Amino acid sequence: MKVLILGAGVIGTTSAYYLAKAGHEVTVIDRQPGPALETSFGNAGELSYGYASPWAGPGIPLKAIKWLTMVDGPLVIRPMLDPRMWIWGLRLLANCTERAYAVNKSRMVRLAEYSNERMVELRGLNGLHFDGRERGTLQLFRTQKQLDHIHGDVEVLKQYGVRYEVLDPKQCVAAEPGLATATVPFVGALRLPDDDTGDCKMFTEGMAKLAADAGVTFQFGVKIDGIEADAERVTGVATSIGRLTADSYVGAMGSYTPLLVAPLGIRLPVYPIKGYSLTVPITDEAVAPVSTVMDETYKVATTRFENRIRIGGTAEIAGWDMTLRPHRRGPLERSLRDLFPKAGDLSQASFWCGLRPMTPDGTPVIGRAKYSNFYLSTGHGTLGWTMAAGSGRVLSDLISGSKPDIDTSDLDLSRYAA
C-alpha cells in the first residue's frame, strides 16, 4: 500500500525503512531541508535500553521542588496560560506512584530491549556509520541515598533479563578510567553493559539513505497545513506542495504531532520538554569518557563519540518555545568539569536545544488512532533514539497487518481512555 509519513526525524525515517522493506510504497515529508534537523539533531547520544525509565516516579515531586530551587537545577518550569501544560503536569503527577512507575518502566524496557535486538541487525547494514560504541551506560551516584534507591529498577531489569552490574567507586574507574580525574566524590554506579551510544543525526541520515535505496521518497521543505478526514478514514494531507494522498498515514512529528491531530478530535497527551546539549571536541582521549555516564544528581548524560563529547540534559517546560537560553549551559558544563575536567575544550563547544515529545507516563504512543488508516508514533521523550528501531519495526508490522514480535496492546492511545 501507499504510506505517507509526516516527519523525518529518527522515528519517521526508521519507520520508513522498515515499511519499505515490508514492500510498501513510502513517502516521507518534512518541513526541514533534510532529515534529523530538529529533536533528532543534537540529543545526548545514548542508546539506553536498560536505563529506559519514566520521569514520573515516587520521589519525583519532592525532587522537582528541590530542583526548582537550585540556581542551575535540571528542571525549569516557565508557567503559561496553556491548559495543555497543566493537564499534562497533573497526569504526570498521577503517575508518580510505585505501582504506576513499575508498570510504565516495564512497558518502556520491553520496547527498548526489542529495539536493542533490531539495532543489532541495523548495525550490520553496509554504509551505516554513526560513531557507534557498544560499551554500556554508567548511571553514576554521588550519594548513598541515590544508590540505595535502585532496587525497583533492578527488579524490572531482572524481569526482562537485562544484564546489570552494581559497582563501587574503584569499579567505576575501571569501567570509565576518565573518572579518576573527577573533582567530586561518588559512591558507586549501576552499569548496564549492553547499552550503546552513537550520534542520532548521523544514524538518521544513514537510515534515510538506506530507506531511499529501498524505494522511499523523501520530500523536504514541505509545510503541513492539516490532515483531512471523513467519518472513518484520513483522506489526505494539505501541504505547501498540494494535497497528498495515501492508503495509510503516520504522524511522527514529535512534539508537534498533538497540534496536528487536535483538529481531528484526537487528544494526544504529548507535551514538549525542552532539552539542551553541548558538543565538545576532545582534547585528551585518555581522560575522556569511553561511553555514556549519567550524572544522576543533575540528570546530565556525558557521551563519547569518535572525537567529540556530547553533554545532554536539563528539562525546561515552556511550551513550544525554542529560545536557546545561554545560562542553561551551566548544568552541562558543570557536570563535565566535575566528572571529566580535562577531557574536552568547553570554549569550542557548540550549544543546542530541542523539544522532547513527552507523555505523562513515559511510554510512547504507537499504533492506530481513531481512524482506520491513521497511525501515531510519537511521545518517546528522551528515548526516541533508543526506541527508534523497535518502534519502526512495530509500526511496520501494525500497518502491514502482521503480529508484532512484542505485546503492543498498551502502547497505543487507548491506554488513556480509562
Per the CB < 8 A criterion, the answer to whether 28 and 5 are in contact is yes
CA angle 87, 90, 92 (to 5 degrees): 110
Per the CB < 8 A criterion, the answer to whether 133 and 197 are in contact is yes
Q: 167: pLDDT confidence band, cut at 50, 70 and 90?
A: very high
Q: 50: pLDDT confidence band, cut at 50, 70 and 90?
A: confident
Cα–Cα separations (whole angstroms), residue 409 to 162, 221, 368, 395, 405: 22, 35, 11, 13, 12
Mean pLDDT score across all residues of the chain:
94
What letter represents residue 116's amino acid? N
C-alpha cell at 122: 541495523
Would you call 73 helix, strand, or coil by DSSP?
A: coil
Per-residue model confidence (pLDDT) at position 73: 79
CA angle 174, 176, 177 (to 5 degrees): 70
Per the CB < 8 A criterion, the answer to whether 18 and 396 are in contact is yes
Q: What is the mean pLDDT of residues 139-149?
A: 93
Beta sheet of 2-6, edge-to-edge order? 217-220, 25-30, 2-6, 248-251, 374-378, 365-368
Evaluated on CA atoms 399, 42, 341, 333, the torsion sign reads negative
Q: 115: pLDDT confidence band, cut at 50, 70 and 90?
A: very high
Indicate the burial class of 214 (C-beta count within 10 angstroms; 0-12, 13-18, 19 or more): middle
pLDDT of residue 71 exceeding 80, the answer is no
pLDDT of residue 17 exceeding 90, the answer is yes
Counting Cα atoms < 13 Å in the Cβ hemisphere of 39 gives 31
Q: What is the pLDDT of residues 344-360, one digit of tens each?
A: 999 999 999 999 999 99
Q: What is the pLDDT of residues 183-218, one digit of tens each?
A: 999 999 999 999 999 999 999 999 999 999 999 999
Neighbours of 368 (CB within 10 A): 16
Neighbours of 166 (CB within 10 A): 13
pLDDT of residue 231 exceeding 90, the answer is yes
Whole-angstrom distance, CA of residue 201 vs CA of residue 9: 9
Name the packing angle between helices 98-123 and 384-400 (round to 10°): 80
Q: What is the pLDDT of residues 100-110, one digit of tens each?
A: 998 999 999 99
Q: What is the pLDDT of residues 56-70, one digit of tens each?
A: 988 888 888 888 887
Q: What is the mean pLDDT of residues 19-36?
A: 98
Q: What is the pLDDT of residues 291-346, one digit of tens each?
A: 999 999 888 999 999 999 999 998 999 999 999 999 899 999 999 999 999 999 99
pLDDT of residue 153 exceeding 90, the answer is no
DSSP output for 316-352: EEBTB-----GGGHHHHHHHHHHH-TTSB-GGG-EEE
Beta 165-167 vs 188-192: how paired, if at all? antiparallel
Would you call 403 helix, strand, or coil by DSSP?
A: coil
Indicate the burial class of 359 (C-beta count within 10 angstroms; 0-12, 13-18, 19 or more): buried
Q: 418: pLDDT confidence band, cut at 50, 70 and 90?
A: low
CA-based nearest residue to 62, from 51, 49, 75, 52: 75
Name the packing angle between helices 384-400 and 10-21 (round to 10°): 40
Whole-angstrom distance, CA of residue 408 vs CA of residue 20: 21
Whole-angstrom distance, CA of residue 314 vs CA of residue 245: 39
What letter represents residue 265's amino acid? G
Evaluated on CA atoms 75, 81, 84, 89, the torsion sign reads positive
Per-residue model confidence (pLDDT) at position 69: 82
Q: What is the mean pLDDT of residues 146-171?
A: 90
Per-residue model confidence (pLDDT) at position 157: 86
State CA 194 to chain mean position distance: 17
Query: Buried b vs exposed e over 253-275: b needs ≥16 C-beta within 10 Å?
Result: bbbbbbebbeebebebbbbbbbb
